[in-house]
Structure 1
Amino acid sequence: MNEWLKDDERLDYLLAEDLRIIQSPSVFSFSLDAVLLSRFVSVPKRGAIVDLCSGNGVIPLFLSAHTNAKIIGVELQPRLYDMACRSIAYNKLEAQIEMKLGDVKAAPSELGIEKYDVVTCNPPYFLAHELSDKNVSEHYAIARHELHLTLEEAVYSASRLLKQGGKAAFVHRPERLLDIVTAMRANRLEPKRMQFIYPKYGKEANTLLIEGIKDGKPGLKILPPLFVYQENNEYTEEIRVMLYGE
Structure 2
Amino acid sequence: MKFETFVLGYKDLKLTQDNQNFVFTIDSILLARFIDIKSRTKKICDFGTNNAIIPLVISQYTKAKIVGVDINANAIEIAKESIANNGLEEQIIVVNEDIKEFAKKNNNEFDIVYSNPPYFKVEEGSKFKKISQEVINARHETMITLEEIITSAAICLRHRGKLIMVHIASRMDEIFYLLRKHHFTIKKLRIIYSKKGGEAKKILIEAENRGNEGMTILEPLYVHNDDQSFTEEVNKMLEN
TM range (shorter): over 0.9
Aligned CA distance change for structure 1 residues 244 and 25 (closer, same or farther; 3 Å): farther
Deviations 1:40-71 (A, max 9, x none): 11112340000001111111111111111000
Whole-angstrom distance in 1 between the partners of 2:126 and 2:50: 19
Residue 132 of structure 1: CA displacement? 2.4
TM-score (norm 1): 0.93
Alignment partner of 1:28 is 2:18: no
Identity, in percent, stands at: 35
Match of 1:183 among 157, 163, 178: 178
Residue 131 of structure 1: CA displacement? 4.5
Whole-angstrom distance in 2 between the partners of 1:217 and 1:120: 20
**Does structure 2 retain, via aligned residues, the 8 Å contact 1:44–1:69?**
no
Match of 2:69 among 59, 66, 74: 74
Report the equivalent of 2:3. 10
Count residues with an aligned counterpart.
237
Residue 231 of structure 1: CA displacement? 1.1
1:20-59 mapped onto 2 (5 Å cutoff): 20-45=14-39, 46-59=41-54
Report the equivalent of 1:94. 89
Whole-angstrom distance in 1 between the partners of 2:140 and 2:7: 26
Q: Structure 1 or 2: larger helix share?
A: 1
Residue 15 of structure 1: CA displacement? 4.3
Report the equivalent of 2:228. 233
Match of 1:169 among 154, 164, 172: 164
Name whichever of 123-132 and 222-231 sits farther off: 123-132
Give the 3-state SS of the residue equivalent to 1:100 in structure 2. Answer: strand
Whole-angstrom distance in 1 between the partners of 2:8 and 2:26: 14
Deviations 1:127-174 (A, max 9, x none): 112842330211110000000100000001111111001111011011
Letter in 1 for 2:114: T
Whole-angstrom distance in 1 between the partners of 2:5 and 2:70: 20
Consecutive unaligned residues of structure 1, counting only runs of 5 or more, are 1-7
Match of 2:119 among 116, 120, 125: 125
Report the equivalent of 1:160. 155
**Does structure 1 retain, via aligned residues, the 8 Å contact 2:70–2:97?**
yes
Whole-angstrom distance in 1 between the partners of 2:81 and 2:126: 30
Report the equivalent of 1:5. none
TM-score (norm 2): 0.95
Whole-angstrom distance in 2 between the partners of 1:53 and 1:27: 12
**Does structure 2 retain, via aligned residues, the 8 Å contact 1:22–1:56?**
yes
**Does structure 2 retain, via aligned residues, the 8 Å contact 1:131–1:141?**
no
Residue 32 of structure 1: CA displacement? 1.1
Whole-angstrom distance in 2 between the partners of 1:136 and 1:15: 25
Whole-angstrom distance in 2 between the partners of 1:124 and 1:228: 21
Give the 3-state SS of the residue equivalent to 1:212 in structure 2. Answer: strand
Give the 3-state SS of the residue equivalent to 2:237 in structure 1. Answer: helix
- The two structures, once aligned, show a CA RMSD in angstroms of 1.3
Moved over 3 A (4+): none
